[in-house]
Amino acid sequence: MESSPEPLSVFATTKALLLKRFVAQGHTETSLNILDLDEIVHSHHRAMARFGSFATPYYPPGVNNHPAVLALLSKLGLGFSCASIAEMGAVLGTGVPPQRIILAHPVKSPDTILYAKQQDIQRIVCDSVQEITKVQRLYPTAKIILRLRMCVTQKFGCCPYNDVEEILHYIKSSQTVTIEGIHIALLQTPSAPSLLGETLQKAIHIAQDVFNLAHALGCPDIPELILSGMDNVPPAELQQIPAAFYHDPTLRIIIETDRQLVESAVTLLASVQSKRVIRLGGTDGPVLEIMYFINDGRYGSFEWWNAVDKRPAVIRSDGTVLHAGLAYPSSLWGQSCDSADIICERIELPELEIGDYLVFSGMGAYGVTLASRFNGFPIPETVVCAGQSTTKALIESTGTRWLS
């Protein structure tokens, strides 16, 4: 039995007003992530408009596992793709029924499988005969979702051309394994986002081939298709999905979201802790670079694999917002002793002073979820706000403690 989660503490105000409050209070000791639940509701509405009525969204808690995020998304009716006991437990703690949870990690420890069995989480992702055998031995009534890969560079997934037939033969011969669905993660092409439509088309063809092969081998119809990596697929291209499977209205289509529900919901307030001015020819020459050291970094709210290429808003310690003006070549550095802890190697900024603030938007995906206490620095703090009555109503039943 999962223990009840702690009541959420939520400021009953907007993100903008909360940001002004913390600046006015001189909050400089630690960085601060402001989680805006209203923005998550807006993002959910935008996502549902993209998907239409043909798909059900599922959310992987690893993107942002803050209790307020999980509680709100559970109230919005999302399903959850969990990777571990901790993630399954956190989602169950919000009141989500096990029927809306998938154990989505293709590689699982025996304890993880047994926990899913104990909690009646039936759908479990596998990508090999060996993994299916392990799950079947520990959890005979589990329903298998087969993970497929689109190319050899993907870490997880069986080959749809060389492995699937063997797996389907095994499933049929066992007479006890139930295949509930297939899961395909779109191959990401950051340098060529226009190719996502073609990638989706390839994924659809792979799914159709597997469905047809299962039917030809005499396996029961596969009732579920899960697609992930879909955040940047243009809405017009998404219509390929219902068009491809219109002949099977019973097929359940799940789209596993990634960043789109939470990325824009977090704003980071960081402050300048120190600076170093580098001049040509010593102390009297022109400024070559100003190095700023802030109270956050790659071990905190900033993802290691994403460059910061958008200029943060600048607020003086007295609350004055700085707009465009004289700027200098600058670099932003994290607070740890690691020389690789650099946030931005080159950015144009006005000259800042110790105690001034930098405000970074779009920080809701992966950052704090991956944060560590390297060098003894604390995990960046997160405060939560909700200003709209509809958002407040959604989370009211969670026993929310409202802060003024």
Q: Which of 13, 23, 30, 15 is nearest to 320 (CA)?
A: 23
Q: Is the pLDDT of residue 289 over 60?
A: yes
Instruction: Give pLDDT, residue 51.
Output: 87
The band of 229, judged by pLDDT with boundaries at 50, 70 and 90, is very high
Residue 254 scores a pLDDT above 50? yes
The whole-number pLDDT of residue 281 equals 78
Are the C-beta atoms of residues 330 and 348 closer than 8 Å to each other?
yes
Is pLDDT of 391 > 50?
A: yes
Q: What single letter denotes the amino acid at residue 19?
A: L
pTM of the full predicted structure?
Answer: 0.94
Burial 16-28 (b: 16+ CB within 10 A, else e): eebbeeebeeebb
Q: What is the mean pLDDT of the chain?
A: 93
- The model's confidence at residue 188, banded by pLDDT at 50, 70 and 90, is confident
CATH H-level, domain 9-35+265-389: superfamily: Lyase, Ornithine Decarboxylase; Chain A, domain 1 (2.40.37.10)
Q: Report the pLDDT averaged over residues 260-267.
A: 97
Superfamily of domain 79-256: Alanine racemase (3.20.20.10)
For residue range 211-225, what is the model confidence (pLDDT) as tens digits? 999 999 999 999 999
Closest C-alpha among 277, 299, 303, 286 to residue 62: 303
Greater confidence (62 vs 192) lies with 62
Task: State residue 52's pLDDT score.
Answer: 81
Strand residues in 142-197 grouped as ranges (E) = 143-148, 178-185
Query: Based on C-alpha coordinates, what's the Rg of the chain?
Result: 24
Which pLDDT score is estimated for 1?
A: 46
Q: What average pLDDT does the segment 357-384 reach?
A: 94
pLDDT of res. 192:
66
Tell me where in the chain the CATH 3.20.20.10 domain(s) lie: 79-256
φ, ψ of residue 293 to 5 degrees: the values are -110, 120
pLDDT recorded at residue 191: 59
Which residues of the chain does CATH 2.40.37.10 include? 9-35+265-389
